């Protein structure tokens, strides 16, 4: 069939196509070449036995042999456990989180650390904090009347 | 689908919509600059996250 | 009432009983506007709370209740009923025939009204403070889930009635292309029918039996998959009627002709195909969903930017041609020759302007990298108040100024308020939206009663902008009140007027009225379903196969 497309509109269609390809190219590069992926860890846990589960029985920071740190934390209405987390600057930190009740969010304000915490699942992601200091951790998924009170502290300490 | 731009039928009304072309071109430029600004100057400095 | 949607002579068979369809359309739009009024009042409560005014009823419980009521009544009830009313009016006027099965259509309307009443009762009595996303294991009263399901059932009946009307028209007009206003509504309906499968499955297999105690636990991640399978095309269910109005009504009122009918059809067909297989871009930060699927949905989501870019050109060019016909000569002076004093035209122009920014924000959300900056922050409410809250809601209000007088045969009253209203909305939305976008980038979460975080230093920096968003909210409420006054004044006191037709824009070039590939809606639907299967069949299947642990219900509100 024949379609009449004005020359200006055709130019704009090409430009729109180029813009979209530019974005997708950048995203493909970020995902494939730089390994940047959204938190997409797949691991299940029974939300009713979180406290007894060996993976979450002990919470807090554990330094690994290679100097990286694993932080284990639990989200519940309306608090994080532990409420204060200490990690070193400049080293990879892996967070492992789950919920004992409803859905929560875990966001470290001023960083890209941002994940949903869904009961029945373990959220996990890795990041590096460059700047030492105190960071605010907030729940960013509505979880009930105390949602706005649900917060914790992250202290990033200058590496020795 | 083919375009029959050579048929001369693209002359609609008195003039080409050059104002529209200018407006959408400006929009496209701002759109791209804004996206890269947030990616390069906010996302990347905050420290990328890997899964 | 002396309403007439069309002035088709009576000897045409079947005779167009326009008053009958007009009543159905007005009933739907009336419910929409009523829901809008309650929802706007809920927004005022939130704005006052944001401004830290210590009103006696201010509490966290009331705040989250008002967020739930505002979201459900605006995003689900106002939009759905307005679109149902618009669909009836557009089918009648563009096909020049009555809608089929009027009794069925009315029963669909009453089912949706009953559902709305049930859900509203549950919310307003504090039994369903689960927000309009109702993620389990937050659990609401069964009336909330049953009510929303009935709204969807009512909308399905409406969809079938309009599809039957279109089939009947096509039988009588073999080989003719569907008029563009109806084409836009059909695209809306197809997107809606595909999308609502997800939320229907979530309601019927998970939330309803679970809230009634027939099922002990639900898998919250499966719910999120089904909800967002519905939740993103829901956006296009709102948007496509607004686009239809931009293409076929606003351009006409501005004195112009549609720049390209064919490209408008390309836009609608693209939305049919690409609306649904994109929902996982709302789940970038979810555990349990593999990143490969998130990447696929990212790519498809960016594909859907294309038809909106195209719409920006076609509609703007149509306005430009209209203004040039009035003597504009320069590169930009045509913008000022447009009828900015007409409330329908100014609503649409301001809606387009706000949507231009909203579209940009959407591209940030749809990129999994930048989404981690803004995910679940105040940026998100800043974003969707530009899209559904402006591109759609402002367009619908502007449309009501034009449509209600034509449906009721009464003149628009309080015209000055109508003229001012779109500008007040624009002003309020600019303040509200900029404040929320910026605080979002600063890391402030969305949907929080109190943003102080026990005196946190970083939260302190959000406070001034939070106040700005509250001031924006007050302007928005004033605008909403003006709209409600105009509508009430028109219906209660509007002078009887000569009947005016619902008319649509012509195309700039004479276009063939023969049926084309775009009229093969069945095939476009098949392509859409294939893409849905590619994007969703395996993730949902594997979610059902994996050993997951369900959650019992919680009511921490």
- In a domain, residue A149? The reply is yes
Q: Are residues A66 and A129 in the same domain?
A: yes
Pairing mode, if any, of strands A69-76 and A60-63?
A: antiparallel
**Residue of A80, A95, A106, A125 marked catalytic:** A80
Judged against a pLDDT cut of 80, whether residue B16 lies above it is answered with yes
Using a CB-CB cut-off of 8 Å, the residues of chain A touching B41 are none
Rounded to the nearest angstrom, the gap between the alpha carbon of residue C491 and the centroid of all alpha carbons in its chain is 24
Q: Beta strands of C83-191 (E only): which ranges?
A: none
Q: Provide the pLDDT for residue C13.
A: 40
Mean pLDDT, rounded, of chain C: 94
By C-alpha distance, the chain A residue nearest C288 is A42
Using a CB-CB cut-off of 8 Å, the residues of chain B touching A125 are 49-51
Q: Are the C-beta atoms of residues C116 and C31 closer than 8 Å to each other?
A: yes
- In a domain, residue A42? The reply is no
CA-based nearest distance A79→chain B, Å = 24
**H and E: helices and strands count for chain A:** 1, 11
Number of domains forming the structure of chain A = 2
Q: Are residues A59 and A13 in the same domain?
A: no
Q: How many CA atoms lie within 13 A of B34 on its CB side?
A: 16
**Catalytic annotation present for A95:** no
Asked if A127 and B51 come within 8 Å (Cβ–Cβ), the reply is: no
- Tracing tokens 């934390």 back to the chain, one arrives at A73
SS (H, E, C) C420-443: HHHHHHHHHHHHHHHHHHHHHHCC
Rounded-to-integer distance, Cα C354 and Cα C352, Å: 5
Partner residue opposite A114 with nearest CB, options C67, C375, C554: C375
Q: Are residues A59 and A126 in the same domain?
A: yes
Q: What is the pLDDT of residues C494-503, one digit of tens each?
A: 999 877 889 9
Q: Are residues A53 and A27 in the same domain?
A: no
Judged against a pLDDT cut of 90, whether residue C64 lies above it is answered with yes
- Going by the DSSP 8-state scheme, the letter that residue A148 receives in this structure is G
CA neighbor of C187 nearest in space, from C64, C44, C90: C90
Q: What is the pLDDT of residues C375-389, one digit of tens each?
A: 999 999 999 999 999
Using a CB-CB cut-off of 8 Å, the residues of chain B touching A37 are 50-51
CA neighbor of C125 nearest in space, from C190, C76, C65: C65
Label residue C56 by pLDDT band (50, 70, 90): confident
ipTM of the shown complex = 0.96
Asked if C302 and A103 come within 8 Å (Cβ–Cβ), the reply is: no
CA-based nearest distance A80→chain B, Å = 21
Q: Provide the pLDDT for residue B15.
A: 67
Judged against a pLDDT cut of 90, whether residue C126 lies above it is answered with yes
Q: What is the pLDDT of residues C360-379, one digit of tens each?
A: 999 999 999 999 999 999 99
Q: Are residues A32 and A53 in the same domain?
A: no
Using a CB-CB cut-off of 8 Å, the residues of chain A touching C221 are 118, 120-121
Q: Are residues A6 and A79 in the same domain?
A: no
Q: What is the pLDDT of residues C409-449, one digit of tens each?
A: 999 999 999 999 999 999 999 999 999 999 999 999 999 99
Judged against a pLDDT cut of 90, whether residue C273 lies above it is answered with yes
Asked if A147 and C449 come within 8 Å (Cβ–Cβ), the reply is: yes
By C-alpha distance, the chain C residue nearest B27 is C356
Using a CB-CB cut-off of 8 Å, the residues of chain A touching C314 are 9
**Catalytic annotation present for C538:** no
Q: Provide the pLDDT for residue C14.
A: 47
Q: Are residues A31 and A57 in the same domain?
A: no
Using a CB-CB cut-off of 8 Å, the residues of chain A touching B2 are 2-3
Judged against a pLDDT cut of 70, whether residue C11 lies above it is answered with no
- In a domain, residue A90? The reply is yes
| B3 in contact with A, Cβ within 8 Å | yes
Rounded-to-integer distance, Cα C478 and Cα C484, Å: 10
Q: Provide the pLDDT for residue A5.
A: 87
Q: What is the pLDDT of residues A82-99, one digit of tens each?
A: 999 999 999 999 999 999
Q: Are residues A30 and A68 in the same domain?
A: no
- In a domain, residue A85? The reply is yes
Q: Are the C-beta atoms of residues C319 and C254 closer than 8 Å to each other?
A: yes
Judged against a pLDDT cut of 70, whether residue C345 lies above it is answered with yes
Q: Concatenated DSSP letters for C36-103? A: HHHHHHHHHHHHHHHTT---TT--HHHHHHHHHHHHIIIIIIIHHHHHHHHHHHHHHHHHTSPPS-HH
**Residue of A23, A56, A78, A106 marked catalytic:** A78
Show Cβ contacts of residue C360 under 8 Å, excluding neighbours closer than 6 positions: B30, B31, B34, B35
- Token pair in block for residue C476: 């928005």
Rounded-to-integer distance, Cα A139 and Cα A123, Å: 14
Q: Are residues A88 and A22 in the same domain?
A: no
Mean pLDDT across the stretch A122-140? 96
By C-alpha distance, the chain C residue nearest B13 is C321
Q: Are residues A31 and A60 in the same domain?
A: no
Asked if C368 and A139 come within 8 Å (Cβ–Cβ), the reply is: no
CA neighbor of C118 nearest in space, from C138, C81, C141, C144: C144
Label residue B17 by pLDDT band (50, 70, 90): very high
Q: At what angle do helices C343-365 and C305-325 cross, to 10 degrees?
A: 150
CA-based nearest distance C372→chain B, Å = 8
Q: Are the C-beta atoms of residues C223 and C286 closer than 8 Å to each other?
A: no
Q: Are residues A19 and A75 in the same domain?
A: no
**Catalytic annotation present for A125:** no
Q: Provide the pLDDT for residue C499.
A: 76
- In a domain, residue A153? The reply is yes
**Catalytic annotation present for C384:** yes
Partner residue opposite B32 with nearest CB, options A8, A22, A112: A22
Mean pLDDT across the stretch C162-171? 97
CA-based nearest distance C141→chain A, Å = 15
Pairing mode, if any, of strands A133-138 and A79-81?
A: unpaired
Judged against a pLDDT cut of 50, whether residue B5 lies above it is answered with no
Asked if A42 and C287 come within 8 Å (Cβ–Cβ), the reply is: yes
By C-alpha distance, the chain A residue nearest B45 is A111
Asked if C310 and A142 come within 8 Å (Cβ–Cβ), the reply is: no
| A34 in contact with C, Cβ within 8 Å | no
Does residue A154 sit in helix, strand or coil?
strand
- In a domain, residue A141? The reply is yes
Asked if C320 and B31 come within 8 Å (Cβ–Cβ), the reply is: no
Rounded-to-integer distance, Cα C135 and Cα C139, Å: 8
Mean pLDDT across the stretch C297-322? 95
Mean pLDDT across the stretch C171-176? 94
- In a domain, residue A109? The reply is yes
Q: What is the CATH number of the domain that holds A102?
A: 2.60.40.420
Does residue A137 sit in helix, strand or coil?
strand
Which residues constitute the domain of residue A73? 47-157
Rounded-to-integer distance, Cα B40 and Cα B38, Å: 6
- Going by the DSSP 8-state scheme, the letter that residue B6 receives in this structure is G
Q: Are the C-beta atoms of residues A107 and A114 closer than 8 Å to each other?
A: yes
Partner residue opposite B13 with nearest CB, options C313, C321, C330: C321
Q: Are residues A72 and A25 in the same domain?
A: no
SS (H, E, C) A44-108: ECCHHHHHHCCCCCCCEEEECCCCCEEEEEEEECCEEECCEEEEECCCEEEEEEEECCCCEEEEE
- In a domain, residue A112? The reply is yes
Q: Which of A25-39, C59-73, C206-220 has the lowest mean pLDDT?
A: A25-39
Q: What is the pLDDT of residues C18-47, one digit of tens each?
A: 789 999 999 999 999 999 999 999 999 999
């Amino acid at each position: 069939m024949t379609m009449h497309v004005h020359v200006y509109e055709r130019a704009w269609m090409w430009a729109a196509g180029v813009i979209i390809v530019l974005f997708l190219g950048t995203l493909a590069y970020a995902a494939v070449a730089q390994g940047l992926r959204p938190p997409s860890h797949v691991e299940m846990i029974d939300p009713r036995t979180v406290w007894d589960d060996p993976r979450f029985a002990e919470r807090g920071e554990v330094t690994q042999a290679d100097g990286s740190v694993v932080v284990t934390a639990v989200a519940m209405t309306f608090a994080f456990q532990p409420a204060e987390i200490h990690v070193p600057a400049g080293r990879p930190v892996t967070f492992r989180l789950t919920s004992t009740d409803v859905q929560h969010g875990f966001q470290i304000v001023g960083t890209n650390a941002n994940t949903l915490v869904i009961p029945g699942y373990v959220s996990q992601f890795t990041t590096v904090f460059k700047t030492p200091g105190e960071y605010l951790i907030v729940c960013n998924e509505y979880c009930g009347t105390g949602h706005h009170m649900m917060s914790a502290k992250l202290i990033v300490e200058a590496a020795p | 689908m083919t375009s029959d731009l050579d048929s001369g039928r693209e002359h609609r009304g008195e003039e080409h919509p050059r104002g529209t072309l200018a407006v959408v071109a400006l929009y496209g430029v701002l759109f791209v600059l804004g996206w890269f600004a947030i990616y390069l100057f906010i996302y990347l400095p905050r420290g990328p996250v890997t899964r | 009432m002396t309403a007439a949607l069309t002035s088709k002579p009576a000897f045409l068979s079947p005779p167009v009983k326009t008053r009958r369809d007009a009543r159905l359309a007005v009933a739907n739009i009336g419910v929409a506007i009523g829901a809008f009024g309650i929802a706007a009042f809920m927004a005022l409560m939130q704005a006052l709370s944001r401004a830290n005014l210590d009103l006696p009823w201010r509490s966290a419980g009331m705040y989250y209740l008002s967020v739930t009521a505002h979201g459900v009544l605006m995003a689900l009830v106002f939009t759905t009923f307005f679109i149902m009313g618009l669909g009836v009016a557009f089918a009648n006027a563009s096909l020049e025939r009555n809608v089929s099965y009027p009794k069925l259509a009315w029963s669909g309307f009453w089912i949706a009204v009953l559902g709305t009443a049930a859900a509203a009762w549950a919310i307003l009595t504090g039994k369903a403070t689960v927000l309009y996303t109702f993620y389990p294991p937050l659990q609401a009263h069964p009336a909330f889930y049953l009510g929303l399901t009935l709204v969807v059932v009512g909308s399905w009946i409406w969809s079938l009635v309009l599809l039957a009307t279109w089939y009947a028209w096509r039988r009588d007009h073999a080989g003719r292309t569907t008029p563009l206003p109806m084409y836009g509504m059909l695209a809306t309906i197809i997107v809606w029918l595909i999308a609502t499968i997800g939320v229907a499955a979530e309601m019927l297999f998970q939330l309803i039996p679970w809230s009634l105690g027939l099922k002990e636990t639900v898998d919250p991640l499966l719910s999120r998959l089904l909800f967002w399978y519905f939740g993103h095309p829901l956006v296009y269910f709102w948007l496509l009627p607004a686009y239809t109005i931009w293409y076929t009504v606003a351009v006409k009122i501005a004195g112009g002709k549609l720049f390209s009918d064919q490209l408008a059809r390309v836009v609608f067909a693209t939305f049919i195909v690409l609306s649904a297989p994109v929902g996982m871009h709302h789940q970038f930060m979810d555990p349990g969903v593999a990143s490969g699927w998130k990447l696929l949905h990212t790519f498809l989501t960016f594909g859907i930017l294309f038809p909106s870019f195209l719409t920006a050109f076609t509609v703007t060019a149509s306005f430009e041609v209209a203004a040039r016909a009035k003597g504009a000569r320069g590169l930009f002076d045509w913008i000022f020759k447009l009828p900015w004093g007409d409330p329908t035209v100014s609503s649409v122009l301001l809606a387009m302007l706000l949507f231009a920014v909203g579209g940009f924000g959407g591209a940030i959300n749809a990129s999994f990298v930048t989404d981690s900056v803004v995910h679940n922050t105040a940026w998100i409410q800043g974003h969707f108040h530009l899209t559904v809250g402006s591109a759609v809601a402002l367009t619908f209000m502007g449309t009501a100024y034009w449509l209600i007088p034509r449906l009721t045969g009464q003149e628009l009253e309080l015209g000055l308020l109508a003229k001012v209203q779109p500008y007040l909305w624009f002003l309020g939305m600019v303040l509200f939206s900029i404040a929320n976008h910026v605080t979002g980038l600063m890391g402030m979460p969305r949907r929080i009663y109190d943003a102080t975080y026990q005196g946190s230093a970083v939260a302190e920096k959000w406070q001034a902008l939070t106040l700005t968003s509250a001031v924006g909210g007050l302007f928005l409420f004033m605008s909403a009140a003006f709209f409600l006054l105009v509508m009430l004044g028109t219906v209660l006191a509007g002078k009887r007027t000569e009947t005016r037709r619902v008319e649509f824009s012509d195309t700039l070039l004479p276009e063939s009225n023969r049926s084309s590939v775009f009229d093969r809606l069945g095939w476009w639907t098949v392509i859409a379903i294939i893409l849905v299967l590619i994007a969703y069949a395996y993730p949902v299947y594997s979610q059902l196969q994996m050993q997951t642990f369900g959650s019992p219900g919680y009511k921490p509100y």
